[in-house]
Amino acid sequence: MMRIMGSGLLGVAAGAAAAAGFMGYAVRGRSSSVFGESFYHGDRSRPALALTFDDGPSETTPILLDALDKYHVPATFFMCGENVRRCPDIAREVAARGHEIGNHTDSHPRLHFKSPRFIYGELAKAQETIQQATGAKPRWFRAPYGVRWFGVGQAQELLGLSGVMWTVIGRDWRLPAERVSDLLLKRAANGAIICLHDGRGVRAAPDIGATIEAVEYTIPRLQDRGFQFLTLTQILCPHN
């Protein structure tokens, strides 16, 4: 009897561990589409990369824009509504310089354990703010911290958004520029979507010096290796 009970408890524990593992993948797995359509790489047969920036715009974004202009690199900027309302002129400058704009929620919350109504409100408010400030209607959404939850897929569908994760994340919010550059140069591959940050959540005047320095160092070296930089739409929907 004790043996049977022990086996039963082991089975329950194994089932719980499997369920927890699945939920962890569903919420944060870069290839997961459990909570809505999501992409994390483009065509792996093409030597092309998509450079993306989260958490902007910030007061320092124009310096980053100058660096991108220097190397003729288009990028995709996932903006937070709060930051757009704080820096509307900079948001417009991003669009005016030919970069693509994506939705990164309004206030940069972690979405797990939030209600579908809350999630929709975050995406909808950011979508409206971005469109009013820049004239651009985002077609791509990236969840803060890469955390998705019940309701994300429905919100994306209602707002005409597709989810995007990343192939490579630079961890530029905490690593020095040299380590960010090393990481990007080692992991860049055909069709990769690179995630960096031109803000730090919704903080005003964040220090993004490491990001700018890494971009200045990394872009020409990747170009020398034959990579072309594209926007997300260009790398994920080449025939649009």
pLDDT at residue 19 above 80?
no
170 and 129 housed in the same domain: yes
43 and 25 housed in the same domain: no
Token digits for 168?
Answer: 């490579």
129 and 175 housed in the same domain: yes
Predicted TM-score (pTM) above 0.85: yes
Q: Mutual orientation of helices 209-224 and 177-187 as an angle, nearest 10°? A: 30
93 and 203 housed in the same domain: yes
Catalytic residue among 41, 54, 104, 198: 54
**Active-site residue flag, 54:** yes
140 and 103 housed in the same domain: yes
24 and 42 housed in the same domain: no
Token digits for 12?
Answer: 């329950």
Q: Which domain holds residue 206?
A: 37-236
126 and 157 housed in the same domain: yes
25 and 120 housed in the same domain: no
43 and 124 housed in the same domain: yes
Burial class of residue 65, CB neighbours in 10 A (0-12, 13-18, 19+): buried
CB 194 within 8 A of CB 46: no
**Active-site residue flag, 66:** no
CA atoms lying within 13 Å on the CB side of residue 163: 27
Token digits for 80?
Answer: 């937070």
Taking only the tens place, the pLDDT of each residue in 177-223 is: 999 999 999 999 999 999 999 999 999 999 999 999 999 999 999 99
Cis ω on the peptide bond leading into residue 116 (within 30° of 0)?
no
Q: What DSSP string describes 51-113?
A: EEEEEE--TTHHHHHHHHHHTT---EEEE-HHHHHHSHHHHHHHHHTT-EEEE--SS----TT
Separation between Cα atoms, residue 157 and residue 35, nearest integer Å? 11
51 and 147 housed in the same domain: yes
144 and 105 housed in the same domain: yes
Taking only the tens place, the pLDDT of each residue in 25-59 is: 998 888 899 989 899 999 999 999 999 999 999 99
Q: What DSSP string describes 159-195?
A: HT-EEE--SEE--TTTS-HHHHHHHHHHH--TTBEEE
pLDDT at residue 2 above 90?
no
Catalytic residue among 41, 99, 108, 197: 197
141's enclosing H/E stretch is strand 140-141
**What's the CATH number where 88 sits?**
3.20.20.370
Our count of domains for the chain comes to 2
24 and 85 housed in the same domain: no
